[in-house]
């Protein structure tokens, strides 16, 4: 592994400036695609293009897919479509090629496809582009080893050799019938121990785990995780084998989903990167900031309605941050646990009620301990029994409400087909802030 130090980068820049192709290729040879993609951040566009044109097709394609989408788009804009087709798309697996094509407009897609010499590959890309990108069909590739269940082992091995020449990675050998329907998987152990079997259907592993091409990415992820698979076959509505999804594709999707959920939970309304321009980042952040501002104004209206209570008991104001902060924290904790359960599918319809009951017990214990600690502190430090009792009782009520509310909201959002990650962010905090303040004001005004 090579460390991309400042000296290393400066040396590379001097090689590029001198147009020393031999030295530049030597540098590229010792770097992994991910390292070269990282170098892109340190080079200007023309320097990057110079390096790309020196790489062999396979490595150039790998590096391109390692780039951030925005950087990739900038690079592709500077290259002719024929070069993109022959240098990148021709050397990509179909799932990566489809991901790349989805980033381009339709006219550019058509022109690139017209320059692909392999008609079968171009046809596969066109077929895959028809799938929704959030389904198994939109994520799958067509590169796989496929054999017929009626072939003998010698013929099977011969056909596998031919198919393997076009593939960089082999995960499983899939077995189909004469109608291309998936029937099984041929384990490597059987290839070795049964070299002369007359029909491989006698030794294949039947009924392999698979997904439909219309299944969601979430279902695909769950299946791969549940059964510890490195690749997953995809079938159509009548069981014909149409593609396969590999674990690296799934991990990319999981990472992107986690990034989206994290941003949503942080009050960012759309997917943004640090490299995005000021307008994009502002548009993503401003909506929830405005909602938060409205929530703050709502709080001020509530507090203004109890102005006389503050005049009588000024100490009431001391505990406003405590009530608001505790309610928000409790709500986020409860919603985060539920969102996690919904994401990994451990929280299903059958255990929703038990989860609510469990959360009620947890919140009862937490509320009792928190309110007791605050009661003891205020009893000895404040010297005002009315405020001491009202603050402790308010905290108890706020913690109970925030826990139940934080549990129910993500469940409701999930039922409404809205991303439940929304419930772990400003929505919970703002709502708990307002409701918590109302609870505190009413209880304190009544008791203090």
Same domain as 32, residue 115: yes
- Count of other CB atoms within 10 angstroms of residue 365: 11
- Residues 367, 290 share a domain: yes
Go through the chain and tell me how many residues it has. Answer: 448
| pLDDT of res. 57 | 80
The pLDDT assigned to 56 comes to 85
Task: Write the CATH number for 164.
Answer: 3.10.580.10
d(CA 336, CA 62): 36
Residue 341: inside a domain:
yes
Same domain, 436 and 386: yes
Distance CA 415, CA 423 (A): 13
Q: Kindly state whether residues 280 and 389 are assigned to the same domain.
A: yes
Range of the domain at 25: 4-127
d(CA 279, CA 272): 11
The string of pLDDT tens digits covering residues 168-215 is: 788 899 999 999 999 999 988 888 888 888 899 999 999 999 999 999
Please answer whether residues 136 and 214 qualify as being in contact, where contact means their C-beta atoms are separated by less than 8 angstroms: yes
Q: Does residue 151 form part of some domain?
A: yes
In this structure, are 292 and 374 located in the same domain? yes
Percent of the chain residues topping a pLDDT of 90: 26
Q: How far apart are CA 142 and CA 233, in angstroms?
A: 10
| Tokens, residue 155 | 């013929």
Structurally, how many domains does the chain consist of? 3
Query: Strand locations in 217-285, DSSP E?
Result: 231-235, 241-246
Q: Distance (Å, rounded) from C-alpha 166 to C-alpha 171?
A: 14
255 against 243, higher pLDDT: 243
Enumerate residues 6+ apart whose C-beta is below 8 A from 330.
363, 366, 398, 399, 402, 403, 406, 432
Q: What is the pLDDT of residues 216-252, one digit of tens each?
A: 988 898 899 889 899 999 999 999 999 999 988 888 7
CATH code where residue 309 lies: 1.10.357.20
**Residue of 406, 420, 422 lying closest to 333 (CA atoms):** 406
Same domain, 150 and 210: yes
- Per-residue pLDDT at 349: 65
In terms of domains, do 306 and 386 share one? yes
- How confident is the model over 320-334, as a mean pLDDT? 85
Q: How far apart are CA 316 and CA 318, in angstroms?
A: 5
Q: Is residue 255 one of the residues assigned to a domain?
A: no
- Please give the Cα distance from 134 to 22 (Å, whole number): 43
**CB-count burial class (<10 Å; 0-12, 13-18, 19+) for 187:** middle
**208 shares its domain with 240:** yes
Which of 22-31, 239-248, 432-441 is predicted most confidently?
Answer: 239-248
Look at 39-53, 110-124, 414-428 and tell me which has the smallest mean pLDDT: 414-428
- Assess whether pLDDT exceeds 80 at residue 6: yes
Average pLDDT, the chain: 85
Residue 133 lies in a domain: no
pLDDT in tens, 117-167: 888 889 999 999 999 988 999 999 999 999 999 999 999 999 999 998 878
Domain assignment of residue 264, yes or no: no
Confidence check: pLDDT of 422 > 60: yes
269 located within any domain: no
Domain of 96, CATH number, reads: 1.25.60.10
Q: Please identify, among 227, 245, 263, the residue that sits at the C-terminal boundary of a domain.
A: 245
Are 111 and 34 contained in the same domain? yes
Same domain for 191 and 54?
A: no
- Cα–Cα distance measured from residue 327 to residue 335, given in angstroms and rounded to the nearest whole number: 12
Locus of tokens 């097709």: 57
Question: Do 426 and 298 share a domain, yes or no?
Answer: yes
* Domain assignment of residue 353, yes or no: yes
Tokens 């192709």 map to which residue? 21
Q: Does 440 lie in the same domain as 391?
A: yes
Q: Does residue 54 carry a pLDDT above 60? A: yes
């Amino acid at each position: 592994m090579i460390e991309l130090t400042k000296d290393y980068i400066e040396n590379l820049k001097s090689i590029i400036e001198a147009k020393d192709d031999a030295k530049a290729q030597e540098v590229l040879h010792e770097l992994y695609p991910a390292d070269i993609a990282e170098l892109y951040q340190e080079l200007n566009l023309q320097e990057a293009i110079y390096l790309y044109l020196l790489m062999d097709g396979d490595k150039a394609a790998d590096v391109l897919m390692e780039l951030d989408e925005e950087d990739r788009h900038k690079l592709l804009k500077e290259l002719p479509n024929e070069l993109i087709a022959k240098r990148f798309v021709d050397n990509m697996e179909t799932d990566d090629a489809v991901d790349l094509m989805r980033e381009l407009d339709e006219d550019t897609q058509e022109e690139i496809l017209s320059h692909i010499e392999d008609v079968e590959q171009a046809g596969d890309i066109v077929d895959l582009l028809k799938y929704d990108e959030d389904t198994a069909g939109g994520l799958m590739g067509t590169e796989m080893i496929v054999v017929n269940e009626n072939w003998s082992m010698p013929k099977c091995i011969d056909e596998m050799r031919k198919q393997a020449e076009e593939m960089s990675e082999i995960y499983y050998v899939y077995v189909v019938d004469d109608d291309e329907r998936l029937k099984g998987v041929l384990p490597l152990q059987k290839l070795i121990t049964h070299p002369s079997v007359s029909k491989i259907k006698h030794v294949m592993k039947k009924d392999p785990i698979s997904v439909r091409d219309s299944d969601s990415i979430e279902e695909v992820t769950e299946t791969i995780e549940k059964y510890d698979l490195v690749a997953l076959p995809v079938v159509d509505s009548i069981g014909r084998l149409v593609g396969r999804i590999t674990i690296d594709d799934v991990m990319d999707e999981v990472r992107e989903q986690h990034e989206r959920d994290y941003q949503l939970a942080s009050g960012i309304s759309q997917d943004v990167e640090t490299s995005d321009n000021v307008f994009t980042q502002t548009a993503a952040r401003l909506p929830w900031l405005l909602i938060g501002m409205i929530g703050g104004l709502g709080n001020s209206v509530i507090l203004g309605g109890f102005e006389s209570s503050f005049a009588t008991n000024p100490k009431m104001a001391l505990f406003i941050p405590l009530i608001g902060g505790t309610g928000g924290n409790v709500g986020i904790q409860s919603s985060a646990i539920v969102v996690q359960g919904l994401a990994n599918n451990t929280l299903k319809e059958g255990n929703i009620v038990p989860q609510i009951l469990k959360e009620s017990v947890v919140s009862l214990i937490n509320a009792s301990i928190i309110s007791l600690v605050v009661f003891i502190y205020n009893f000895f430090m404040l010297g005002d029994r009315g405020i001491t009792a009202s603050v402790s009782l308010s905290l108890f009520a706020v913690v109970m409400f925030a826990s139940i509310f934080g549990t129910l909201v993500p469940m409701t959002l999930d039922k409404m087909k809205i991303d439940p990650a929304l419930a772990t962010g400003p929505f919970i905090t703002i709502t708990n802030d307002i409701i918590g303040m109302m609870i505190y004001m009413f209880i304190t005004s009544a008791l203090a």
